[in-house]
Structure 1
Amino acid sequence: MSPVDPASVATLLARETAAYADAHPLCRAGYDAATNLFGHVPMTWMNMWAGGFPLQLDRASGNRVTCLDGVELLDFALGDTGAMAGHAPPATVRAVARRMGELGGVTAMLPTPDAQWVGAELERRFGLPRWSFTLSATDANRWAVRLARLVTGRPKVLVFGHCYHGTVDETFAVPGPGGTTVTRPGNVAPPVPVSETTYAVPWNDLSAVEAALTHGDVAAILTEPALTNIGIVLPDEGFHKGLRELASRFGVLLMIDETHTFSAGWGGATRAWGLEPDILVIGKSIGGGIPCGAYGLRSSVADAVLARTQSGEADIVDVGGVGGTLAGNALSTAAMRATLGEVLTEEAFTRMVALGTRYAEGVQAVIDDLDLPWSVGQVGARAEYRFTRPAPHTGEDSAAAADEDLDACLHVALANRGVLMTPFHNMALMCPTTTADDVDRHLAVLREVAAALV
């Protein structure tokens, strides 16, 4: 394999960072002037953008964003999945404008017919019949975990090393030595040691899952269909079937988080791969940019929750820690109905997944032609390259392949050539307005930059 030369990375990163600063003086000035913002940004993770400062957004449409300096970029980040429908999809804009203007009542705490429509559509796509709405997938995961504990009477969850489930405290855990569970590096002030709430095991390791479940204190297995925030790490053949079998055998609820893997198709990986969750969580993308999320329950789980609330064991309508006054608001349900009904349709996913395949195959061709020690993974309309070959098998494998300087070099070099990638990693997502020409433009830029590093 052709090695990537660290000296070439350092040289190109310095040159591209200087060019980035020269091309974006207004963005830099806006960043420097934001002294009332913690870290000069609305949310501290925005400092992960390469180049020394993030671009300041002026406007966005479809799969294009324009910064304050008037530079337009082809957007493959798409809000790290939040804008899977594209920026400002017209159907969603119309629905939101009507609800805020003509209809009003955005935060009236009253249900609307849109909510039932969305629940029925989510059942059609994912197969679960009972749904409740949140403002993020983090909320959905947090509340669904509480319900899983209520139903099973067990305190712990099982997760996989380097999984992504938003900012749920129990999920910031990784496998430690000797089968232990330890906090994920960088975890901010966990309320209790994560080993008290969580078992973390390696992805694709069914024997480790079984060993953890034998303790008899696990309420739910919380998993993505594929790991996504540490690069795409795909499941082994039979892995999900094994998870389902183990969950059923040990009386554990299987909880699938489709927040990122909704990219697999119009019914996510759950439908595309034939998964059988007891609980399903989704967020980010289903509202076309309006904050929202949802969790779905199998009928038996919903009935068990209601039985425990009717007995007085728990309160899910007031002080029980499930829900919030803004969750399921009329604006977000209107946005979800329009986005699912008119934008992220079966037809749209057919095109998006085909473009994801074109993208992944094109990246693989660059890797092969330059003999790079990299790999590429794909989940439908989502694809990502990772700096290791062969492709990682666990989250730990993928984490070990991280290269911050190479990441930064690629990101800033691509941005300077009009291509925006997800800041946390090398994820690219196709939306309904992405075209084959857009994919080919990225591939040409990637080939140019990668060739300079070998």
Structure 2
Amino acid sequence: MTTLIAGIETDHLRHFATREATRFATSRPNTQHALNMGEGAFLAGVPMHWMRDWPMPFPLLVESAKGARITDVDGFGLDDFCLGDTGSLFGHSPEPVAKAVARQAKSGLTYMLPSLDALEAGRLLTKRFGNFRWQIATTASDANRCAIRVARAVTGRPKILVFNGCYHGTVEDVMVTLEGDKTVTRAGMVGQVADPAAHAVVVEFNDLPALQAALAEGDVAAVLAEPVMTNCCMVLPDPNFWRTVRTACDAAGTLLIMDETHTVSSGLGGWAKGNGLRADMFVIGKSIAGGVACAAWGLAPDLARRFADYDAGRVPGHSGMGTTLSGNPLQFAALRANLGEVMTRKSYDHMEKLAARLEAGLTTAINAVRAPWHVVRVGARVEFICAPGPLRNGTEAMEAHCPAVERAVHLALVNRGCLIAPFHNMMLISPATKKRQVDRLIAAFSEVLDSLFS
């Protein structure tokens, strides 16, 4: 009896993956030589351990990146649809950002004081994302940690509610999952001593009764969520889901924190602003400074006043928030340039038009081979999912995740000149992405599927 994975014969998948891995390895001698010479200084041979998680036999070494193209040290050019997993959502080295960074480099890189660029960046953050009182961090993980502290401080409550399968960076407080109907700490965390499940609660995305029951306990300081789940096999909210969540939070005295680090791709200003969802706190990171490490978290004005009262009355001492290099002038120069000159309506119109073209092309390719897969899109973000859809929650998303098939497809696309995100099947369109690049990706994807399903 033939065994199938996502509609593909397992033996056929194995032979396909082996062939693609060999093709990649034999075509990149310069990369292999350089890695052999230089990787010994790093733990696991790479600067960040997850750089080993790409589906290639060994990591690519990038020589240069510009716009929506990457060139590796063996001279191969790739159309980049990963874009630093959103970090370079607006393209590699957008010209206004590159100029701002070069200009600021001549005037100091950090000095623990604000600048005129900082003041203008604050105005632009409000213009783009809404009326919040902002603070700057270096990563969205740091921004989420600060938001959680503020939520607990002003409400006097210990717990944070998240959705099963969520992703908010490396925030230990929400490294939890569902086991049956019980909140437990995620398995596999390195060196974890404290139990995050003691101060968190997990429910499934789109499960309003479970959320309302959890809030009714009266101990939840905040709901921390992405408006669209993006960690594994993208999950869209049901109609009126967020309107009901907002009402339930208000009734329970619980704050709502929107983490739009990924969903900034959904449209100018993010998903919440575009859909009229009122957040008490807003977190944004990765792409806002055009590729320079930067994040921001903001409090709605009434919450900012509540926090100011709390802060004025607390015992003096370290707040547990903030890092020395956050809020540096390099961040603000890049942030001002990106928010003001790159992250524009014109850019998003271009991004969404090409993303719709990509969505349609991938869907056509899937239908042509009758694969039991589907495609989902939010703004400039497109994903193919190796299972029928739509998906409604984190459990369904994890069950739809098909690592063996995804790794083979990813590697085969690299061999055909297209780079997509390594941790899921995500593709992003930037303002620099060209129609011909989208068409090349569609053609490559179609060729790969024809090989897998033949």
Give me the TM-score of the superposition, normalised by structure 2.
0.96
CA distance in 1, matches of 2:159, 2:24: 47
Matched residue type, 2:380 = A
Kept in 2: contact 1:181–1:194 (CA 8 A): no
2:24 pairs with 1:20: yes
Within the candidate set 65, 68, 77, 1:72 is matched to 77
2:330 pairs with 1:360: no
2:391 pairs with 1:386: no
CA distance in 1, matches of 2:218, 2:178: 19
CA distance in 1, matches of 2:256, 2:33: 48
CA distance in 1, matches of 2:390, 2:13: 22
Aligned to 2:370: 371
CA distance in 1, matches of 2:353, 2:419: 20
Aligned to 2:451: 452
Kept in 2: contact 1:352–1:381 (CA 8 A): yes
SS of corresponding position for 1:182: strand
Aligned to 1:131: 134
Q: Map residues 16-415 of structure 1 onto 2, 5 A cutoff.
A: 16-33=20-37, 34-101=39-106, 104-177=107-180, 179-313=181-315, 319-415=318-414
CA distance in 2, matches of 1:202, 1:190: 24
> Offset at 1:122?
1.8
Greater shift in the superposed pair: 238-247 or 2-11:
2-11
SS of corresponding position for 2:70: strand
SS of corresponding position for 1:54: coil
SS of corresponding position for 1:441: helix
Kept in 1: contact 2:128–2:339 (CA 8 A): no
Matched residue type, 2:78 = L
CA distance in 2, matches of 1:91, 1:98: 11
Aligned to 1:430: 429
> Offset at 1:300?
1.0
SS of corresponding position for 1:270: helix
Deviations 1:298-335 (A, max 9, x none): 011111111111113465xxx11111111111000110
Matched residue type, 1:132 = Q
Kept in 1: contact 2:13–2:405 (CA 8 A): yes
Deviations 1:322-360 (A, max 9, x none): 111111110001101101111111110111011111111
Residues 451 and 185 (structure 1), Cα distance of their counterparts in 2 relative to 1, 3 Å cut: farther
> Offset at 1:123?
1.5
CA distance in 2, matches of 1:225, 1:157: 16
SS of corresponding position for 1:228: coil
SS of corresponding position for 1:31: helix
Greater shift in the superposed pair: 3-12 or 294-303:
3-12
CA distance in 2, matches of 1:166, 1:275: 23
> Offset at 1:266?
1.1
Aligned to 1:7: 11
> Offset at 1:248?
0.3
> Offset at 1:62?
0.4
Kept in 2: contact 1:159–1:200 (CA 8 A): yes
Kept in 2: contact 1:386–1:398 (CA 8 A): no
- Number of residue-to-residue matches in the alignment: 448
SS of corresponding position for 1:66: strand
CA distance in 2, matches of 1:105, 1:156: 41
CA distance in 1, matches of 2:126, 2:12: 51
SS of corresponding position for 2:221: strand
Kept in 2: contact 1:203–1:395 (CA 8 A): yes
> Offset at 1:89?
0.9
CA distance in 1, matches of 2:112, 2:389: 51
Matched residue type, 1:301 = L
Greater shift in the superposed pair: 184-193 or 394-403:
184-193
CA RMSD of aligned residues (A): 1.3
Give me the TM-score of the superposition, normalised by structure 1.
0.96
> Offset at 1:15?
0.4
Matched residue type, 1:143 = C
> Offset at 1:105?
2.2
Deviations 1:122-178 (A, max 9, x none): 21222223111000101100011101111101111000111111110022111121x
Unaligned runs of 5+ in 1: none
CA distance in 1, matches of 2:235, 2:409: 21
Deviations 1:261-303 (A, max 9, x none): 0001111101221111000000000111100000011011111
CA distance in 2, matches of 1:312, 1:184: 33
CA distance in 2, matches of 1:314, 1:287: 33
CA distance in 2, matches of 1:10, 1:128: 52
SS of corresponding position for 1:296: strand
Matched residue type, 1:320 = S
Percent identical among aligned pairs is 41
SS of corresponding position for 2:92: coil
CA distance in 2, matches of 1:233, 1:29: 41
